[in-house]
Structure 1
Amino acid sequence: MNLQLFIAFISCFFIALFITPLVSYLAKKIGAVDKPNKRKVHSEVKPRLGGLAIYVAFLAGLFLLPIDNHTTTFIFLSTLIIVITGVLDDMYELSAKQKLLGQFLSAFVLIYGEFVIDYITIPYFGLVELQLMSIPLTLLWFIGLINAINLIDGLDGLAGGVSTIALSTILIMAIGKEQILVIMLCVIVTGSTLGFLFFNFYPAKIFMGDTGSQLLGLLIALISISGFFKSVTFLSLFVPIMILGVPFMDTTFAILRRLVNKQKWSQPDKSHLHHRLLARGFSHPKTVLMIYGISIFFSVLAFAFSLSTLEESFFLFLLLLVTIELAAEFLGLMGQKKPLTHFLTGFLAPHKKKP
């Protein structure tokens, strides 16, 4: 199995590496390009659709490994739907409702294939069957993660790098628990993403586009359900959320910010974490590296959280909240000068450019 995993990883990496330039050429030919505007940070027209290279490499890995036919079939159908949605969006810029429809369909295929969060184990209460809540909760998890990864895809190498850090953390945990399916999926998704990142690091030659960010969000959500939600306690449900702390944090504040400012939930803005760091004077590469560092911190904390007792978990969770507040103050993300309210008001406040 170790040799098979190694071969699958190398194969996915090199397939993505060699196909990405071809996808870049295709994107330019069909007009799937990202043009600069006041919300974007790049100043040149760049091809998107890079997620297509990740997808082709991922499919190769999916069929290389001994994954059962049921799992392979439903993953293939679901990812095909999300990739088609992403390709159409990268070419024609679909409306939020049209993108959401594609996300729902891809999620429902996996739910129909029985990839669901069906129970949790609560301390002092034992195993709790979710029953009627199982499908809505699973659907929320899929849609939430797809859009969380999509929202952080704003700088060269950011979404791919954060996803790789998260997948590597999940892989380490899965190896310890001998979760074979999770291990196999992590290996091929990581290999495919790293091959693409060779062309996506600053200065990027191609963007992954919605094709890539939605695909990665869907796959990470699937991997989490196949691992964390099948044999964990209630407190451990926070582990995948902590591993994906950056996209979850950014998405949560984006939703709150738009509610407070009475904007549409789908309306884009320039107040995401990476925009704020850039506005504070950090360069493009330094901003990406800083967010990588934050992602690694969240991953380490999640790993410690997964091994801790009930009392230690509460302490680590408190540490996480305090650290977020201190980091926000250090990075100048606060809007007020009152402790513990800085972080929230800093993100909710309308973004102001430096004079």
Structure 2
Amino acid sequence: MRVYLLLMLVAAAVTFLTTPFARWVALKTSAISAVRARDVHLVPTPRLGGLAMLIGIIVPVLLASQMPFLEGVFSARQAPQAWGIVGGAAIVCALGWADDKWDLDWITKLAGQVLAAGFMALQGVQLITMPIAGVTITSSRMSLVVTVLVIVIAMNAVNFVDGLDGLAAGIVAIGGTAFFLYTYGLTQQSTPDNYASLASLMLAVMVGVCVGFLPHNFHPAHIFMGDAGSMLIGLVMAGAAITVTGNIPPGIMTGAKALPAFIPLLLPVAVLMLPLLDMGLAVIRRLAAGKSPMAPDRMHLHHRMLALGHSHRRAVVILYVWTAVFAFSAAALVQWDWEIVLIWTTVFVVLALLATLGPLRHRGRFLDDDVAAMSGQTPKVPVAVGVAATAGSGADAGVAVQHVAPQSEPRPSARPSAGPPTKETIE
């Protein structure tokens, strides 16, 4: 455990220290998030945090490769998987950087995501055994297709939910912590003499990266992770889930505890419950309206939280709570009987509902946004007249809208539709 905690700390420190560099690169390369009608931020914001997150992954993984404790993870058999995840992360980071700068169309982005997922699969990160009654995917082609599909869904799920300052990073940090404890517990029971695990390593690093990025990204954000970051952490989460799938020897757990042991994908689904739910509802909503699944709107879960009356910060924290309820409830099945887990999950669901729909929406000053605004923490990006700027966010890319000057007043819960595009340069 101490080794994983050390690597988590290294990942957090590297990401925290390199984020200002990523912000500088974003400004120099015009990777800026424009203000669009559906957005909740009021000033153009650099959005290349994924670059710092990638560095935060590479450095601790390189360090881990030199540690005797993790020697088995970087053996001839498993090393391609570890570097496959890192390589896939680099590919989606480059793809996200291009999208943040040039606003790629959805087909190009999807092709890039499939390329990254395919690279990981070719390095051995594949779903081969689905531990449901011993089912094995016998076709290598089917294994490749299923693997790519799972990775692409995970990337886009995180991408969809990345709509409020600190939301995606916090959700993945909380869910990743639960997933890390889950994989570490399973490793203890499956191989008592060796706690080294590729899944635990990647999850520890991913949690550290998200924690290191949050101080720069929590409202009011000085930088966004952009597609480069959201796709990156989604890919790492999927890679960790895939590497642990099928690696649990039969018989180590019995009864109700066999569920989390033999369906390791249960926890990633619980961790990404909010992103997956948001993505699913968005696709259904848009198709029902006769629109493209990638068409932008202001009906995401985080938009609905603001519409309920919550401040930006409070909405994010409450969504953190929901993530913790789902993720830690699933992880708890490894250690406790399902009856006990169900009772406590019900209690926490009720508390989360009270926080979401109760009087906290309109009373008190708990995590009010104006506290940050009054303290002068609103990030500022210089703006001058000159060249048109456009940007996209996640799967909802592609509308150029008039920018507004930096403000120190509280952000409203909803913005009126922006006027026609104007020409501006961000220096």
Residue number in structure 2 paired with 1:214: 231
Residue number in structure 1 paired with 2:22: 23
Residue number in structure 1 paired with 2:124: 114
Structure 2 residue matching 1:230: 3-state secondary structure: coil
CA distance in structure 1 between the partners assigned to 2:175 and 2:127 by the alignment: 20
- Say whether the 8 Å CA contact 1:116–1:138 is kept in structure 2: yes
Q: Please state if 1:269 is matched with 2:297.
A: yes
Residue number in structure 2 paired with 1:204: 221
Residue number in structure 2 paired with 1:5: 4
Q: Cα deviation per residue 1:74-121 (whole Å; 9 max; x = unaligned)? A: 223222211110110111111101111110000001111121111223
Fraction of identical pairs, as percent: 31
Structure 1 residue matching 2:130: 3-state secondary structure: strand
Residue 184 of structure 1 and its aligned partner are, at CA, apart by 1.2
Q: Cα deviation per residue 1:211-249 (whole Å; 9 max; x = unaligned)? A: 000000000000111124533666554332122211111
Structure 2 residue matching 1:131: 3-state secondary structure: coil
Q: Which has the higher contact order (CA 8 A, sep 6+)?
A: 2
Paired residue for 1:256, among 278, 284, 290? Answer: 284
Residue number in structure 2 paired with 1:284: 312
- Say whether the 8 Å CA contact 1:117–1:230 is kept in structure 2: no
Matches within 5 A, 1:131-142: 131-132=138-139, 133-142=142-151
- Say whether the 8 Å CA contact 1:228–1:240 is kept in structure 2: no
Judged with a 3 Å threshold, the aligned counterparts in structure 2 of structure 1 residues 188 and 238 are, in CA distance, closer, same or farther, namely closer
Q: Please state if 1:303 is matched with 2:331.
A: yes
- Say whether the 8 Å CA contact 1:5–1:65 is kept in structure 2: no
The code of the aligned residue for 1:173 comes to: Y
The code of the aligned residue for 2:316 comes to: V
Judged with a 3 Å threshold, the aligned counterparts in structure 2 of structure 1 residues 41 and 97 are, in CA distance, closer, same or farther, namely same
Judged with a 3 Å threshold, the aligned counterparts in structure 2 of structure 1 residues 43 and 136 are, in CA distance, closer, same or farther, namely same
Residue number in structure 2 paired with 1:130: 137
Judged with a 3 Å threshold, the aligned counterparts in structure 2 of structure 1 residues 300 and 270 are, in CA distance, closer, same or farther, namely same
The code of the aligned residue for 2:201 comes to: M
CA distance in structure 2 between the partners assigned to 1:83 and 1:213 by the alignment: 9
- Say whether the 8 Å CA contact 2:46–2:224 is kept in structure 1: yes
Paired residue for 1:152, among 161, 186, 190? Answer: 161
Q: Cα deviation per residue 1:123-142 (whole Å; 9 max; x = unaligned)? A: xxx30112233222211110
Structure 1 regions of 5+ residues with no counterpart? 333-352
Judged with a 3 Å threshold, the aligned counterparts in structure 2 of structure 1 residues 76 and 170 are, in CA distance, closer, same or farther, namely same
Aligned length: 325
Paired residue for 1:190, among 191, 195, 207? Answer: 207
Residue 10 of structure 1 and its aligned partner are, at CA, apart by 2.4
Paired residue for 1:77, among 87, 97, 113? Answer: 87
The alignment yields a C-alpha RMSD, in angstroms, of 2.7
TM-score, L = length of structure 2: 0.70
Residue number in structure 1 paired with 2:98: 88
Instruction: Indicate the structure (1 or 2) with the bigger Cα radius of gyration.
Output: 2
- Say whether the 8 Å CA contact 1:277–1:331 is kept in structure 2: no
Q: Cα deviation per residue 1:169-218 (whole Å; 9 max; x = unaligned)? A: 11111121226211211121111221111100111110000000000000
Paired residue for 1:101, among 98, 107, 111? Answer: 111
CA distance in structure 2 between the partners assigned to 1:46 and 1:274 by the alignment: 19
Deviates more, 1:208-217 or 1:191-200: 191-200
Residue number in structure 1 paired with 2:394: none
- Say whether the 8 Å CA contact 2:47–2:225 is kept in structure 1: yes
Residue 260 of structure 1 and its aligned partner are, at CA, apart by 1.2
Residue 300 of structure 1 and its aligned partner are, at CA, apart by 2.3
CA distance in structure 1 between the partners assigned to 2:178 and 2:327 by the alignment: 6
TM-score, L = length of structure 1: 0.84
The code of the aligned residue for 2:326 comes to: F
CA distance in structure 1 between the partners assigned to 2:245 and 2:314 by the alignment: 32
The code of the aligned residue for 1:219 comes to: V
Which has a greater percent of helix?
1
Paired residue for 1:223, among 211, 235, 240? Answer: 240
Q: Please state if 1:293 is matched with 2:321.
A: yes
The code of the aligned residue for 2:294 comes to: S
Structure 2 regions of 5+ residues with no counterpart? 66-72, 188-195, 249-259, 359-413, 417-427
- Say whether the 8 Å CA contact 1:49–1:90 is kept in structure 2: yes
CA distance in structure 2 between the partners assigned to 1:76 and 1:107 by the alignment: 11
- Say whether the 8 Å CA contact 1:119–1:134 is kept in structure 2: no
Residue number in structure 1 paired with 2:184: 175
Residue 3 of structure 1 and its aligned partner are, at CA, apart by 4.7
CA distance in structure 2 between the partners assigned to 1:196 and 1:39 by the alignment: 24
Residue number in structure 2 paired with 1:347: none
